[in-house]
Every structure is written in structure tokens, then in C-alpha cells.
Structure 1
């Protein structure tokens, strides 16, 4: 029975899109609990080491979140261009001529907060 769950977990992880697995890799570090560290009888140097490790992990976590956020923004912009190409191709939008890099101007935008603004299809 345990083999079934291991195989099932493997199939689920293989089938999960890369965006979901990328966000799973950004694990928030657990903050050291000073009271527990004191109760455990750790020395000042050991407590300092625990907190230094925590701060290094926090920096890695924040970098991971920033990298994931940037990747998702790029993917969303690409999807917005794809939507504009579909509109230009299938709805004969006259104003959707390609830009010099071959992209069709998008009728959806990401504002600086990361909120995606989609304009309705005409």
C-alpha cells in the first residue's frame, strides 16, 4: 500500500506545472525561538549561529520569491502578447500590427503591483 502512495506522489509531482513546483521550492525559513534555545541550554555562540543561519535562509527565501515573481511576470506578459496575436489573427484587429521584435502589442497590461489588467474582447 505504501508503494502505491509513493508512485501516486511521483505521478502528481511529474504532472504539476513548473510554476507550481517553482513556488514550492521557496520555503519560508522557521524563525528561531529564543526561549526554546535558552531552555535547550545552548551557548551564546550557538544561539548566534542559529540566528545567523536563519538570516541567510531568509535572504535566500526572499531572493527565491523575487526570482519567481519576475519569471511569472515575464510569462504573463508573454501570454498577453499571445492573446493579442489571437485577436489580431482571428478577429482581424486593424490596430494590432507587430512591433519590430515580431511581437503584437498586447491589449492587456501588468501594472507595477503585478496586477494583470485584461481588456475585454470586442
Structure 2
């Protein structure tokens, strides 16, 4: 049993693990307030795995789905599913033409890329 413990300890102290600990943190998770009470001004699909959302405050957010959300790119309307308070966060989901697409993250964004 000791060799297994030694292997686990060596794996935990590997240089790769230290590099991960020193890497900069990703974007901070956010919540979009007042989603159910007209808190969304507009949204734009970001492929089939995310969307940009502009809140009533004018701030843009990027919501990334846990997986592919097949009908997102062609959707004309979508719904937002929240949990608990009237806010959208990584525990919510997007409803697109009968599909439920759970969210993996909601972060602040500069907004969608400009169209040319």
C-alpha cells in the first residue's frame, strides 16, 4: 500500500501541478440580475455553445453552455431558466425551441464581435 501512496504524492508534487496552480485565474463568474422581470435587452448566439447577453444595465455577459446547443444559432427566440432568485448564473439554462441547454458559466464580456 505504501508504493501507491508514494505514487499519489509524487503525482501531486509534479511540475505540471505547480504550473496549474500558478496560472492566472479565468474570467470571474457573474450573475445577470432581474432576468425574469425584463432584465435582458438583447442576446446574440456565439456559435452553438454560447451566447452574448446584454442586461438592462447595458452590461454584456457571455453565457457558455455545458455542451452543444444545436438550435441556438438559428433560434429566433429563447427562454432563460433561473434557479432561486431572479438572476441568471452558471446554475441556469437556456431554452431553445424545446431544447434545454444547461449553462457552464456566465462571465462579463465586451459583447459580441462587430459585424462587418
Instruction: Give yes or no for TM over 0.5.
Output: no
- How would you bin the TM-score normalised by the shorter chain? under 0.3
TM-score of the two chains, using structure 2 as the length reference: 0.21
- Larger Rg over CA atoms: 1
Q: Give 1 or 2: higher strand fraction.
A: 2
- Relative contact order, higher structure (CA 8 A, sep 6+): 2
